[in-house]
């Protein structure tokens, strides 16, 4: 394996030999990047990848990300030091292609490209540059979501490819261990290790959050404008706005919310009398050195990054042992179908920090699902012991959760034919469910879907969740001010709607108090009530005020002494964790930035407040505020900007995980378990298994995530791929 340094004279390489315990054939990708500030070079170290093409993609991505991070070209953009496998192609061909790309796109096609993207496009491969030009042209006319379904799917596939090449950034060193034999770990481990056969630590507990965008240091702007001013003027709920019939409170409960870490903020005098809290204290995010200069520090995840059901199982051996009965593979649950509590009154489940009754009911439901799977497996395979039953049931339950999220929850969140088709392609492939059920996975990810691929794909970057993914998942606006409890002891009304019984303030449903309230309400009444209540809309001035005077908890579910303003904290967290502000965020995602407030929203009143807080400088707009203010695509409950991150990361959570790819089979899941996953299509299916009376009596809608008294989806005779947007 050769390490080559590109200096100011590319014709005078300076090779160095480097010893490695692994074959050079295993190291053709480029992963960890850091900049030598003294020599003006960027250093890129090796990581496993699939091909030399993957290495070139990642190098190009490094250049692109570095340019966007500073919004100006690097002074010596092509001067970089990296390790790579020698290509059989002459080096002049790569230089020639780069030269052709620059000439073509800067001088000929540049007039069709937004000024902010010229330098970025000239650093792409010529293939990616043409693909970018295609999606960019569609973006300029704002038409992609109005395309026929089949053309829209092509647009999304091309855009996802670009983000896979240029928006996956590894943080921290990747261990260069020996490849794991998947046969030694046919189950999900407690801490998430061995989920990637090429990198045993990828996605495990305690690993760094990755990045979709290079960090933007905002140390000198942490309080500019003051987060409590931003929260009070632009986020705090003035009048409750909901999502109509599109999403209910069960859909909102899928998003685990509240706080992880803390610092100190003092409200300025001009808004102190309007804030629920005039001051509050919290600890700063704990940062760790990455050992590199480009991304010097990063935050680590106390949970696993994988889609492994850790919300009910936990992310370490200690929590895992606490939730298990150690009999027949089952998990602990009380006789009334709710979470058991320990001697301190703290619920027993995988993730209990900052929870509320809505999340607890989902934990209850999937603990019952896990235990039912154990019963089915024991009946089918009586020789399986407690540990084997548990491991198989966890694998199956996690896949059921992931599948429901992919083809049920997300479809309701992004309610269009295009995304219905897209999410089903992610799971089943273009050929569809019937074909896959009959013939198995055929072809690559397009024809056969991401689930069931022959091997996991990480695009040369070890799998993790990212800081940016966390940021766009801040959706506390979905929560109302009170829960509308329904009377379930009567005959259903029109569209299976139960009458209102009483309103329960949301503060009575959170934390320890919430568990006590839930025990009085009961699972069925709580779940039916959530199903019939619309959740809040993701818009400006719709952040629950009760979350701005919040008692937070530590990882063990114990209350902390100080109250916090969660809205202000979330604004601060993005800045502190070096997440780009809204306009720069869009640039890095190859989305056209706004140039004036009118590009963001048509709400004149909102524009006035935005100017009051940020002045005329749209570059200062905080990401969270921009996501809430942004014009929504018809049918989308989230912003387009958030969706683009989802497009990349939702696919990545499936394609990078061996238990959804190479080990998604009867050998790992058992024949019975594999059938269980393949025949579960929705949350309603899970409800039917455990509470059939709920579905039969109270659900009129097609999905359990839309408001239950809404009419079922009307049949459409036009094939899905041939449909046009309404």
What is the C-alpha end-to-end distance of the chain, expressed in Å?
Answer: 56
Neighbours of 641 (CB within 10 A): 17
- 3-state SS of 395-461? HHHHHHHHHHHHHHHHHHHECCHHHHHHHHHHHHCCCCHHHHHHHCCCCCHHHHCCCCCCCCCCCCC
CA-to-CA separations, 498 to 493, 518, 527, 529, 694, in angstroms, rounded: 6, 19, 12, 8, 12
260 catalytic? Reply is yes
- What angle separates helix 640-655 from helix 417-428, to the nearest 10 degrees? 10
Residue 530 host element (H or E): helix 523-531
Q: Which residue's structure tokens are 């005039």?
A: 278
Rounded distance between C-alpha atoms, residue 706 and residue 415, angstroms: 10
Q: Which residue's structure tokens are 């093409």?
A: 53
CA-to-CA separations, 541 to 341, 594, 606, 617, 625, in angstroms, rounded: 37, 21, 9, 21, 10
Q: Which of 260, 392, 459, 476 is catalytic?
A: 260
Contact of 306 with 657, CB cutoff 8 Å: yes
Rounded distance between C-alpha atoms, residue 635 and residue 347, angstroms: 37
Token pair, residue 706, equals: 């839309």
Token pair, residue 420, equals: 């219905």
Rounded distance between C-alpha atoms, residue 545 and residue 477, angstroms: 10
- Which residue(s) pair with 43 in the sheet? 34, 81
For the stretch 218-221, contacts whose Cβ atoms lie closer than 8 Å and that sit 24 or more positions apart, written own/partner, are 218/575, 218/576, 218/578, 218/581, 221/575
- Cis peptide bond N-terminal to 365, omega within 30: no
Q: Which residues are catalytic?
A: 260
């Amino acid at each position: 394996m050769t390490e080559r340094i590109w200096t100011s004279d590319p014709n005078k390489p300076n090779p160095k030999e480097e010893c490695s315990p692994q074959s050079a054939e295993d190291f053709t990708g480029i992963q960890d990047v850091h900049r030598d500030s003294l020599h003006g070079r960027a250093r890129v170290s090796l990581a496993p990848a699939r091909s030399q093409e993957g290495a070139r993609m990642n190098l190009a991505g490094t250049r692109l990300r570095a340019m966007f991070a500073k919004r100006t070209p690097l002074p010596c953009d092509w001067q970089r030091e990296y390790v790579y496998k020698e290509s059989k192609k002459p080096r002049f061909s790569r230089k020639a292609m780069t030269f052709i790309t620059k000439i073509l796109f800067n001088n000929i096609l540049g007039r069709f490209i937004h000024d902010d993207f010229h330098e970025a496009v000239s650093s792409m491969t010529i293939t990616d540059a043409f693909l970018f030009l295609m999606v960019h042209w569609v973006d300029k006319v704002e038409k992609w979501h109005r395309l026929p379904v089949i053309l829209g799917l092509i647009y999304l596939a091309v855009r996802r490819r670009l983000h896979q090449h240029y928006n996956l950034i590894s943080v921290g060193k990747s261990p260069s261990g020996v490849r794991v034999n998947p046969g030694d770990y046919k189950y999900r481990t407690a801490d998430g290790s061995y989920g990637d056969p090429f990198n045993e630590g990828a996605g495990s507990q305690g690993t760094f959050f990755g990045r979709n965008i290079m960090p933007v240091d905002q140390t000198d702007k942490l309080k500019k404008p003051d987060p409590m001013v931003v929260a009070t003027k632009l986020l705090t709920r003035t009048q409750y706005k909901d999502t109509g019939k599109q999403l209910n409170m069960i859909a909102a409960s899928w998003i685990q919310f509240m706080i992880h870490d803390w610092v100190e903020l003092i409200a300025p005098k001009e808004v102190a009398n309007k804030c629920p809290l005039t001051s509050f204290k919290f600890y700063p995010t704990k940062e760790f050195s990455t050992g590199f200069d480009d991304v010097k520090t990063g935050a680590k995840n106390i949970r696993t990054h994988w889609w492994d059901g850790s919300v009910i199982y936990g992310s370490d051996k200690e929590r895992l042992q606490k939730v298990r009965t150690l009999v027949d593979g089952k998990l602990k649950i009380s006789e009334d179908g709710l979470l058991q509590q320990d001697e301190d009154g703290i619920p027993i489940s995988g993730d209990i920090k900052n929870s509320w009754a809505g999340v607890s009911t989902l934990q209850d439901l999937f603990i019952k699902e896990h235990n039912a799977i154990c019963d089915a497996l024991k009946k089918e395979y009586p020789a399986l012991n407690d540990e084997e039953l548990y491991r198989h049931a966890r694998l199956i339950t996690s896949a059921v959760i992931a599948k429901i999220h992919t083809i049920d929850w997300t479809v309701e969140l992004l309610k269009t034919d295009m995304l219905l088709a897209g999410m089903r392609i992610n799971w089943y492939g273009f050929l569809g469910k019937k074909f896959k059920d009959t013939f198995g996975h055929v072809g690559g990810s397009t024809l056969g879907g991401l689930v069931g691929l022959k091997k996991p794909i990480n695009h040369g970057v070890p799998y993790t969740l990212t800081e940016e993914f966390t940021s766009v998942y801040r959706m506390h606006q979905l929560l109302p001010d009170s829960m509308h409890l329904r009377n379930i002891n009567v005959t259903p009304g029109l569209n299976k709607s139960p009458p209102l019984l009483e309103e329960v303030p949301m503060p009575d449903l959170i934390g320890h108090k919430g568990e006590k309230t839930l025990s009085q309400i009961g699972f069925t009444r709580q779940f039916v009530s959530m199903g019939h209540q619309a959740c809040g809309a993701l818009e400006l001035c719709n952040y629950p005020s009760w979350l701005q005077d919040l008692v937070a908890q530590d990882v063990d579910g114990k209350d902390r002494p100080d109250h916090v303003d969660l809205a202000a904290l979330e604004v601060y967290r993005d800045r502190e964790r070096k997440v780009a502000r809204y306009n720069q965020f869009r640039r890095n995602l190859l989305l056209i930035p706004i140039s004036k407030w009118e590009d963001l929203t048509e709400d004149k009143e909102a524009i006035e407040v935005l100017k009051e807080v940020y002045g005329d400088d749209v570059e200062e707009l905080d990401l969270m505020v921009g996501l809430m203010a942004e014009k929504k695509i018809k049918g989308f409950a989230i912003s387009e900007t958030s969706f683009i991150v989802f497009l990349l990361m939702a696919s990545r959570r499936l394609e990078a995980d061996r238990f959804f790819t190479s080990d998604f089979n009867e050998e790992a899941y058992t024949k019975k378990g594999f059938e269980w996953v393949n025949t579960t299509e929705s949350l309603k299916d899970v409800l039917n298994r455990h509470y059939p009376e709920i579905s039969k009596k109270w659900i009129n809608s097609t999905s359990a995530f839309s408001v239950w008294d809404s009419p079922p989806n009307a049949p459409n005779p036009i094939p899905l791929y041939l449909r046009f947007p309404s």
